[in-house]
Amino acid sequence: MHNLYFLILMLLVLPIGMQAQVTFTIDQQDRQNTTIAPVNPTQAPFYHGVASGDPLTDRVIIWTRVTPTVDQTVMVDWEMAEDVNFTTIASSGQVTTDTSRDYTVKVDASGLSAGTTYYYRFTALGVTSTIGRTKTLESTNVNQIKLGVVSCNNYQAGYFIPLREIAKRNDLDAIVHLGDFIYEKGASSTGDTNRLHVPIVEILNLGDYRTRYSHYRLDPDLQEAMRQHPFINIWDDHEVANNAWKDGAENHNPGEGNYIDRKLWAIQAFFEWVPIRDNSTKDVYRTIRFGDLIDLVLLDTRHVARSIQVDSFLDPNRFDPNREVLGPAQMSWFKGQLSDPVTTWKVIGNQIVFAPAFANNVEPLQPGVRDLFMDLWEGYPPKRDTIINYIETNLIDNVVFVTGDIHVSLGFDITSNPLDSLAYNPMTGMGSVAVEIVTPSISSDNFDEKIGAFSTQILTSLFEVGNPHNKYVDLSKHGYFVLDVTPTRTQGDFYLVDQVQTPVALESYGGGVYTDVNTNHLNATNTPAPPKPVQEVPAPPLVTSTQDIVPELLLLSAYPNPTNGEMTINYALMEQGPVNIRLVDLSGRMVGELFERRLPKGNYVLRFNLEELENGVYFVQFETERGVQVRKVMKL
């Protein structure tokens, strides 16, 4: 028989009456009017935008993700210039990316000048990306640094309005992200908005972590903040699972598989999707030096060494000196960083609240309430005292902890015994060894969203009375603070929004806290720190692509490929309409059921299992009114 006839026969005749072996399931959002992170078709194939991170004096990481229409190795050119028109190219190069790194692109662009603003872009598959802005660190005579400090952008909890606002600033040297860059839970677990997680399930494996990062990185506000500023990221717990410690997490049970596998997948996806500089041990604790002004010392209080949390404030194990937070290696490194005499200030990028404040014998927090804070340094007092004593006995001045995780704005003097009037004077700061400024969440729930506005007001007053070392408290707003550092003063200025439940809101100045050099004592202020003498030129607005061939259906990823069974395909439907999905083998024989449904526009995850099929090549066909898209998958 002629081959072509055979093929046509296979295609037309054999599927009829043949039992499909593979069943599809699709993550579908049931809620009406769901706002799924939109894919901006004009950005093809760089749908996830561009970003930069970990600036040094001569280099910076630049990042993008390419989404090809077929799995292939993609060549990516990059270039950096000192002007938005790219008249003089300062540095350029070419890299490749492929499925092994989820088509993410991370370049350590070197040979740059210190203290310089750069603009960068990528070219792949014949298209040039939007332009990003970044900046290298100053090396000498550093007189003023401004850092945005952010944490906790839960997609389901609200719009990323503070990120939209911070993107408009032209006075930041970098943004420090203290973690909870993604949240791991499934779609129905939180959220008063219609912003739902993709995938809808709790993420447990590499494919799901990658899909969740992809979903977050499609958010236009997150994209814009990362396009306009270099980010310096550390992770907190939700990059793996809630209340994580070294070998487990509150939100992980044995039925969800091996925790260490899950953690390693989460770490892999983080290093793929976040513009952090790679290192062989995949650690996030590191120091970034801003000339002779600041050592930004970033910690990992979560995943390297932390011992399991105690359940109760009264559990005597809380005082076990062997329970770890940083672990011996990181602790000895941290002490070395604190003792290094080069910079005036040590800014400590830290996940969890350091100051004692929630487990003191102070009303209003009853023991049951105090138990909720055992995930903070509060749950590990001997290790916290080790650090406080080290700072005190070595006469180290000008240590400023900057902290995330707790979703509220706070400021503290740091002392072991804030209630002991002989050891600490809240007016003069006598007895305080360092200070701490806590950033509110970008969108994650804070107190008024959990216990209501009235109770939050009462709690705020009681918190102030019960914590004399507390210098700033706001338990109900979202936002960020700008850390302004000069040789004589470090100030944190809060920029807050009332709510993130609706897409429109503007920030307002919420006051600040400052510490003068060598005082180790925090004061409140209502005057923002002085502006920078020069405002940077922003990266130009997103260009509208001239490409008019935007697919009706966009395949974002297929994991894992090759596979020995389970397969997950993430696709975005750009317009509402019928979608038919089938799986065929090399000969065209249909082996996966025909899936026919009218779907609203959105971001979907298709799951199926090839376990029952023989090894070989298969094709998933997505048919819409405007054509067919095919993804080749391999069963090994």
Scanning 19-27, 180-188, 418-426, 558-566 for contacts with Fe ion by CB under 5 A, the matching segment is 180-188
Other beta carbons within 10 angstroms of residue 474's beta carbon come to 21
Nearest residue (CB) to Fe ion, 405 versus 413: 405
Which of 440, 405, 449, 409 lies closest to 157 in space, CA to CA?
Answer: 449
Nearest residue (CB) to Fe ion, 78 versus 181: 181
Task: Supply the minimum distance, in Å, between the C-beta of residue 280 and Fe ion.
Answer: 28
Scanning 173-181, 218-226, 239-247, 479-487 for contacts with Fe ion by CB under 5 A, the matching segment is 173-181
> At which residue do the structure tokens 């922003």 appear?
538
Nearest residue (CB) to Fe ion, 418 versus 440: 440
Handedness of CA 131, 135, 136, 140 (dihedral sign): positive
Size of the site for Fe ion (CB under 5 A): 3
Which of 165, 181, 180 lies closest to 482 in space, CA to CA?
Answer: 165
Please, which residues bridge with residue 496 across strands? 479, 508
Scanning 71-79, 175-183, 242-250, 361-369 for contacts with Fe ion by CB under 5 A, the matching segment is 175-183
- Residues in 584-623 that interact with Fe ion by CB under 5 A: none
Nearest residue (CB) to Fe ion, 180 versus 413: 180
Scanning 179-187, 318-326, 422-430, 599-607 for contacts with Fe ion by CB under 5 A, the matching segment is 179-187
Position 190 contacts Fe ion (CB under 5 A): no
C-alpha span between 15 and 590 (Å, rounded): 5
Task: Retrieve residue 619's tokens.
Answer: 């094709």
Nearest residue (CB) to Fe ion, 152 versus 338: 152
Nearest residue (CB) to Fe ion, 59 versus 185: 185
C-alpha span between 522 and 471 (Å, rounded): 7
Nearest residue (CB) to Fe ion, 124 versus 473: 473
Scanning 148-156, 303-311, 339-347, 481-489 for contacts with Fe ion by CB under 5 A, the matching segment is 148-156
Task: Supply the minimum distance, in Å, between the C-beta of residue 252 and Fe ion.
Answer: 17
Dihedrals φ, ψ of 86, to 5°? Answer: 55, 40
Beta carbons of 513 and 525 less than 8 angstroms apart: yes
Scanning 130-138, 145-153, 275-283, 521-529 for contacts with Fe ion by CB under 5 A, the matching segment is 145-153
Burial of 518 (0-12, 13-18, 19+ CB in 10 A): exposed
Scanning 80-88, 373-381, 439-447, 482-490 for contacts with Fe ion by CB under 5 A, the matching segment is 439-447
Task: Supply the minimum distance, in Å, between the C-beta of residue 440 and Fe ion.
Answer: 11
Nearest residue (CB) to Fe ion, 119 versus 231: 231
Position 180 contacts Fe ion (CB under 5 A): yes
Beta carbons of 303 and 266 less than 8 angstroms apart: no
Return all residues near 158 (Cβ < 8 A) that are at least 6 apart: 191, 192, 193, 195, 443, 478, 499, 500, 501
Nearest residue (CB) to Fe ion, 451 versus 634: 451
> At which residue do the structure tokens 């447990």 appear?
204
Nearest residue (CB) to Fe ion, 54 versus 445: 445
b/e for 592-623, b at 16 or more Cβ within 10 A? Answer: bbebeeebeebbbbbbbbbeebeeeebbbbbb
Task: Supply the minimum distance, in Å, between the C-beta of residue 179 and Fe ion.
Answer: 7
Nearest residue (CB) to Fe ion, 102 versus 445: 445
Nearest residue (CB) to Fe ion, 344 versus 444: 444
Task: Retrieve residue 602's tokens.
Answer: 């959105």
Scanning 197-205, 438-446, 555-563, 610-618 for contacts with Fe ion by CB under 5 A, the matching segment is 438-446
Beta carbons of 571 and 604 less than 8 angstroms apart: yes
Task: Supply the minimum distance, in Å, between the C-beta of residue 451 and Fe ion.
Answer: 17
Task: Supply the minimum distance, in Å, between the C-beta of residue 526 and Fe ion.
Answer: 28
C-alpha span between 371 and 314 (Å, rounded): 8
Task: Supply the minimum distance, in Å, between the C-beta of residue 238 and Fe ion.
Answer: 6
- Residues in 394-433 that interact with Fe ion by CB under 5 A: none
Task: Supply the minimum distance, in Å, between the C-beta of residue 336 and Fe ion.
Answer: 29
Among 36, 152, 218, 241, binds Fe ion (CB under 5 A): 152
Task: Supply the minimum distance, in Å, between the C-beta of residue 490 and Fe ion.
Answer: 24
**Preceding omega of 321 cis (within 30 degrees of 0):** no
Task: Supply the minimum distance, in Å, between the C-beta of residue 199 and Fe ion.
Answer: 20
Which of 383, 329, 327 lies closest to 354 in space, CA to CA?
Answer: 383
Helix (H) / strand (E) element for 454: namely helix 453-466
C-alpha span between 595 and 592 (Å, rounded): 9
Among 233, 444, 515, 568, binds Fe ion (CB under 5 A): 444
Nearest residue (CB) to Fe ion, 444 versus 563: 444
Beta carbons of 291 and 139 less than 8 angstroms apart: yes
C-alpha span between 155 and 200 (Å, rounded): 12
Return all residues near 73 (Cβ < 8 A) that are at least 6 apart: 96, 97, 98
Task: Retrieve residue 620's tokens.
Answer: 């998933």
Nearest residue (CB) to Fe ion, 184 versus 493: 184
Please, which residues bridge with residue 76 across strands? 95, 124
Task: Supply the minimum distance, in Å, between the C-beta of residue 152 and Fe ion.
Answer: 4
Scanning 174-182, 415-423, 452-460, 471-479 for contacts with Fe ion by CB under 5 A, the matching segment is 174-182
Task: Supply the minimum distance, in Å, between the C-beta of residue 257 and Fe ion.
Answer: 23
- Residues in 305-324 that interact with Fe ion by CB under 5 A: none
Which stretches of 387-488 are assigned E, i.e. beta strand? 399-403, 409-414, 434-438, 470-474, 478-485
Nearest residue (CB) to Fe ion, 180 versus 585: 180
Which stretches of 380-506 are assigned E, i.e. beta strand? 399-403, 409-414, 434-438, 470-474, 478-485, 489-497
Could you say which DSSP state residue 19 is in? P
Task: Supply the minimum distance, in Å, between the C-beta of residue 444 and Fe ion.
Answer: 5
Binding mask 325-364 for Fe ion (x = CB under 5 A): ----------------------------------------
Scanning 110-118, 147-155, 214-222, 460-468 for contacts with Fe ion by CB under 5 A, the matching segment is 147-155
Contacts to Fe ion by CB under 5 A: 152, 180, 444
